[in-house]
Each structure stands twice: as C-alpha cells, then as structure tokens.
Amino acid sequence: MWRQLQVITGNKRPIRPLHTDPAREAERLTSSFATRTCTDNLPAETRDRLTELLPARNDQVDHACEDQSNTNTPLTLLELRWALKTSRDTSPRADRITYSMITNAGSDGHSALLTLFNASWEACKLPSK
C-alpha cells in the first residue's frame, strides 16, 4: 500500500540494480565454476578412467545422432497448430513477431512457417536474419 501511495504522489524511489556490475560478476562466477569443476581436480585414477571411457561415449553420441528415430520426422501442420494453441502471446523479439501474429496468419501463413521450420530441421541449420 505504501509503495502505491508513493507512486501516486510521485515520490517513487529509483529501483537500484541487484548488482553494481552484473557482467563482471557473471564472469567471476563462471571462472569460479570452471576452476572448481575442472577434471584436473579429480584423482589421477578417475582422470585415467574418464580418458579410457571417452571413445565409447563419443561412439554412443554419434550413434544416437545417426539413429533415425520415429521422432526424427518433419513437423506436421497439426503439431504446429497445437503448439500455437497451447502457447501464450509474447512480446515481440528482434524479429518483431508475436505468437498472436503467427496464430492469426491463417492457413497460408502456417504452411509457409511449417515449410521454413522443416527446411531448417532437414538442413540442421537455423535460418539467418
């Protein structure tokens, strides 16, 4: 209540940032995390075991990427419409497009968007600006 009264009377205090230099603090925390989680901190036998297991892990990842799972299929129009139906409207980003704009694009707009999504999916690349 007091805050609202201050706003009404024009005596609103400026909101102070949570941190005086967030970018430097982020760098400090990242560096600290990287130092603490470095494999050099592990015992030698554990590092040796990790090195020994690495080729098998890489093979598993490669195999999983090459696997043609039944979920590795292009998006359907039904799936796109379901996703739009269950999503909330958002503020536009750099592209200045909102969910409501896409939702109201109609069948032709949805088909064009679906074509773009599926082309991006097949090429394994995000569209450029």
127: closest CA among 84, 82, 97?
A: 97
- How many separate domains does the chain show? 1
**Which 8-state DSSP code applies to residue 41?**
G
Domain membership of residue 41 (yes or no) is: no
Structural domain including 82 reads 77-87+94-123
How many Cα atoms sit within 13 Å of 7 on the Cβ side? 5
Higher pLDDT, 72 or 23: 23
Domain membership of residue 9 (yes or no) is: no
Domain membership of residue 81 (yes or no) is: yes
pTM (2 d.p.): 0.46
Q: Report residue 14's pLDDT band, with 50, 70 and 90 as the boundaries.
A: low
Average pLDDT of the residues of the chain: 85
Instruction: Give dist(CA 123, CA 116) in Å, integer.
Output: 11
Domain membership of residue 110 (yes or no) is: yes
